Amino acid sequence: IRFTKLFVNNEFVDSFSGKTFPTHNPATEQKIADVSEADKADVDLAVKAAKAAFARGSEWRNMDASARAKLINKLADLIDRDAKSLAALESLDNGKPLEDAVLEMLGSADVLRYYAGFCDKIHGNTIPSDGNQFAITRKEPIGVVGQIIPWNYPVPMAIWKWGPALAAGCTIVLKPAEQTPLTALELAALSKEAGFPKGVINVLNGFGPTCGAALAMHNDVRKICFTGSTEIGHKILEYSAKSNLKSVNLELGGKSPLVIFDDADLDEAVKIAHNAIFSNHGQNCCAGSRTFVQAGIYDEFVKRAAEMARDRKVGDPFKSGTQQGPQVDKPSLDKILRLVESGIKEGAKLEAGGKKIGNVGYFVEPTVFSNVKDDMSIAQEEIFGPVQSILKFNTLEEVIERANNTQYGLASGVITNNINNAMVFAQAVEAGSVWVNCYDAITPQTPFGGFKMSGLGRDLGKDSLSGYLETKTISIKLP
Ligand code: ADP
């Protein structure tokens, strides 16, 4: 493990308190490293560094847009170069299969490249007014940005937020999740190697209620970007309200419906639905966690879905071919097992899995429930684990209503060969993403975020970039 300290002003430093906390390998439950723990004093220092890097006349503020793009592209190249070692570190800390982690690194580099292309294309408008007056708008970087991210996709989550922030010309203080503190420190080191001026990117590991809250409460932070639970999302908004009304971007939980009609290609539908829920061990905010299947194919679908779940290869994340490693930590595993229990008690039918695997590590069987009813806890609560809930429906109108019967609205999917059904569903569903005959079709250019209690604002795409820019209107009166 190369880096365990805080990264401020392009240097790795100890926390003021000298405190550290351990991070563990979820496959073996053994400690990997002790990392420095930031609290309020460290947040103050990092924000000060980010503020100085953003100040008028600083190297970063004076930098040509194309030079900024070059730095971002350079960071992308370095992530590509180190993809394997970054991925190995992630698998160790998070438990995800190594092969999946490599793809996440390469995908993150592409997100940076997408945003690098915007650096020299950010501009405002000229707006004519009456008589001898016109106005121009300028797009200016919002300033110091605080970013708080979860443990499920540590590098992509950091980079989805770094890309637009850097392209806009902002400076950054990132707080990774306490379960997965290691890869963000590698990214920090790569940003220094790429040549970012000191203070542009700062990384503080620490806990939510201390480090995270101090960042979200800080009066010199102009925007706070958060990905995590809806519960903490409420708090982030509250912190903003209680401090300087900083702009807030929230990407929160989900209970996303995937709707499969009788006319779908069954093999394809079973596969899409399987990947929608089981990828990343179900630890995915947009997981297709409610699989609605039309009555005509329901029984056959359930049978095949259960077979596919039983065939899933669970084990050592470093072994080639592994599809599922351990869940990230014990509280996550316990929550999954508790919800599986409640599914059984509430009358759902367990078709596959349902049990913890082995005595060491947080492994759980890929689990499938049929006969799931809308009001069961497994259909309402975010499980964040490999648990597929299959619900039966009859008509389009019925399934639209049931799909929307949730506080969440992050993502959704529909599988059908009937274009009318697909489009009516796409129009009616209350969700930020609708995937038709596919799932998880996320690319750098597609905006991603939630309706309802799944969040505010968007990550990715041009939409995210605009959230890092302020519009200044300069009105000019001619003589
Ligand atoms: P999860 O349940 O998936 O761990 P959380 O919403 O608890 O999701 O955590 C996501 C991120 O939010 C983590 O980086 C965590 O440290 C941080 N966090 C947790 N509580 C707070 C808080 N009160 N204030 C700010 N950040 C927090």
- pLDDT 10s digits, 141-177: 999 999 999 999 999 999 999 999 999 999 999 999 9
CB contact at 8 A, 49 and 7: no
Ligand 1: residue whose CA is nearest its atom 21: 208
Helices (H), 218-329: 230-242, 266-278, 298-311
Res 230: pLDDT: 97
CA 237 / ligand 1 centre spacing (Å): 13
CB contact at 8 A, 309 and 278: yes
Tell which atom from ligand 1 comes closest to the C-alpha of 229: 6
Report which secondary-structure segment, H or E, holds 401.
helix 396-403
Tokens of 158: 């950091």
CA 240 / ligand 1 centre spacing (Å): 15
Res 129: pLDDT: 81
Task: Give CA 82 to chain center in angstroms.
Answer: 21
Measured CA distances, 299 to 104, 315, 391, 402 (Å): 35, 29, 11, 20
Helices 98-116 and 83-94 cross at an angle (nearest 10°) of: 120
Using alpha carbons only, how large is the chain's radius of gyration in Å?
23
Ligand 1: residue whose CA is nearest its atom 16: 208
Report which secondary-structure segment, H or E, holds 392.
strand 387-393
Q: What is the DSSP letter of 453?
A: G
pLDDT at 217 over 90: yes
CA 433 / ligand 1 centre spacing (Å): 24
Ligand 1: residue whose CA is nearest its atom 24: 213
CA 160 / ligand 1 centre spacing (Å): 17
- The residue to mutate among 183, 204, 232, 285, having the most atoms of ligand 1 within 8 angstroms of its beta carbon, is 232
Res 479: pLDDT: 87
Mean pLDDT, to the nearest integer, of 62-89? Answer: 98
Q: Whole-angstrom Cα distance, residue 280 to residue 184?
A: 19
Handedness of CA 59, 64, 69, 71 (dihedral sign): negative
The catalytic position among 251, 351, 365, 382 is: 251
Report helix, strand or coil for 377.
helix
Ligand 1: residue whose CA is nearest its atom 18: 208
Tell which atom from ligand 1 comes closest to the C-alpha of 178: 16
Tokens of 420: 């009318």
Write down the residue that tokens 């409640």 correspond to.
342
Question: What pLDDT, in 10s, does the model give residues 97-142?
Answer: 999 999 999 999 999 999 999 999 999 999 988 888 999 999 999 9
Calculate the CA dihedral of residues 174, 178, 180, 186 and round it to 10 degrees. 40
Residues with CB under 6 A from ligand 1: 148-150, 175, 177-178, 207-209, 212-213, 216, 228-229, 232, 235
pLDDT band at 400 (very low <50, low <70, confident <90, very high): very high
CB contact at 8 A, 465 and 164: yes
Tell which atom from ligand 1 comes closest to the C-alpha of 150: 10
Ligand 1: residue whose CA is nearest its atom 2: 229
CA 8 / ligand 1 centre spacing (Å): 21
Beta-strand relationship, 201-203 and 171-175: parallel
Amino acid identity of residue 163, one-letter, is: G
Check if 251 is active-site. yes
Ligand 1: residue whose CA is nearest its atom 13: 177
CA 62 / ligand 1 centre spacing (Å): 35
Task: Give CA 48 to chain center in angstroms.
Answer: 27
Report helix, strand or coil for 416.
coil
Helices (H), 82-181: 83-94, 98-116, 154-168
Q: Whole-angstrom Cα distance, residue 94 to residue 328?
A: 6
Handedness of CA 254, 241, 150, 189 (dihedral sign): positive
Tell which atom from ligand 1 comes closest to the C-alpha of 231: 6
Q: What is the maximum span of the chain, computed from C-alpha positions, in angstroms?
A: 82
CB contact at 8 A, 162 and 201: yes
Tell which atom from ligand 1 comes closest to the C-alpha of 206: 16
Long-range contacts of 186-189 (CB under 8 A, 24+ apart): 186/2, 186/3, 186/82, 186/85, 186/86, 186/89, 187/75, 187/79, 187/86, 187/155, 187/158, 187/159, 187/162, 188/3, 188/7, 189/2, 189/3, 189/7, 189/12
Ligand 1: residue whose CA is nearest its atom 19: 208
CA 287 / ligand 1 centre spacing (Å): 19
Res 107: pLDDT: 98
CA 379 / ligand 1 centre spacing (Å): 23
Question: What pLDDT, in 10s, does the model give residues 23-39?
Answer: 999 999 999 999 999 99
Q: What is the DSSP letter of 144?
A: E
pLDDT band at 276 (very low <50, low <70, confident <90, very high): very high
Ligand 1: residue whose CA is nearest its atom 15: 208
Distance linking the first and last C-alpha atoms of the chain: 66
Mean pLDDT, to the nearest integer, of 200-219? Answer: 98
Tokens of 312: 């899933």
Tell which atom from ligand 1 comes closest to the C-alpha of 207: 16
Question: What pLDDT, in 10s, does the model give residues 312-359?
Answer: 999 999 999 999 999 999 999 999 999 999 999 999 999 999 999 999
Measured CA distances, 203 to 5, 146, 162, 213 (Å): 9, 10, 11, 15
Question: What pLDDT, in 10s, does the model give residues 263-275?
Answer: 999 999 999 999 9
Tell which atom from ligand 1 comes closest to the C-alpha of 179: 4
